[in-house]
Amino acid sequence: MKSPFSKVVQGCMGWGLWGKEFSTSAMAELIEHAVSLGLTSFDHADIYGDYTTEQQFGKAYKESSIPRKDLQIISKCGIQYVGETRNNKLKHYQYDAEYIVWSAEKSISDLQCDYLDLLLLHRPSPLMHPDEVAKAVDQLTSEGKIKSFGVSNFTPSQSDLIASKSTISYNQIEFSLTAHEAMFNGSLDHMLLNHITPMCWSPLGNVFREKNDQTYRIHSVLASLSEKYNANKDQVLLAWIMKHPAGILPVVGTTSKERMKNAADAMNIVLSDIDWFELLTASTGHKVP
């Protein structure tokens, strides 16, 4: 089944207090720019900006000219964060049904979006119970407040626990050329088998953040492939992710209009198998077994 989300998802963690602190008008302009490029899906979490970024985005969205049907909004809940806006003694997770419903409804209100296209449990908790989660998901779904449900940073067994009572459609995990463990520990296989669409955060990995033997090897291959595909390096890295048969949707956190366009254009790049494996070999430093 085709995903209702854009092939590249626009992450919004850095739009508010934890990043650029855009004004309402600047954020509205950025929303319109993203949608015009085909980046119609926006990824949030209640904790972003110490629980303030969703509210800022909601004000900006209302100021924009984008109809609700033309974009998709994702949010996550469950992390009780230590900050200025909540009286939490320490960081912890909370997944009782009442809290999940309250948190989803607050995100909908803050985002001024009437419903969420996707609600994710942000991180697994040792205390989560599938019956409690299902109670909340069933209520939110029946009331039309969420269109789909998923998890984030969950292992296959943790996903199976929640999926025993609720349909999981998405799992947002860390995945990139330099953080590719999900291909070899069964996570992506599990998602493909269970019709769970992966989303991935930090899709560029450490390629531009670190200078070491691994990234030197990767940059050498990227230089050649960038010329071959008439693309820049970050576009090739995104194309590498999107080639995987699980249909991974990269979540890009850029706040730059130019890099947004680069990400959108990457949706049209299809790497050959040999080029895909050349990048994997550069990352691991050895040929495949």
The residues assigned a catalytic role are 48
Q: Is 77 helix (H, G, I), strand (E, B) or coil?
A: strand
**E strands of 50-184, at which residues?**
72-77, 79-80, 92-93, 118-121, 149-152, 170-174
Which of 245, 271, 251 minimizes the C-alpha distance to 263? 251
Pairing of strands 92-93, 79-80: antiparallel
Tell me the residue length of the chain.
289
CA angle 143/149/151 to nearest 5° reads 145
CA atoms within 13 A on the CB side of 79: 19
Residue 100 near residue 129 (C-beta atoms within 8 A)? no
Query: CA separation (Å) from 273 to 26, 66, 100, 200, 279?
Result: 41, 38, 42, 21, 10
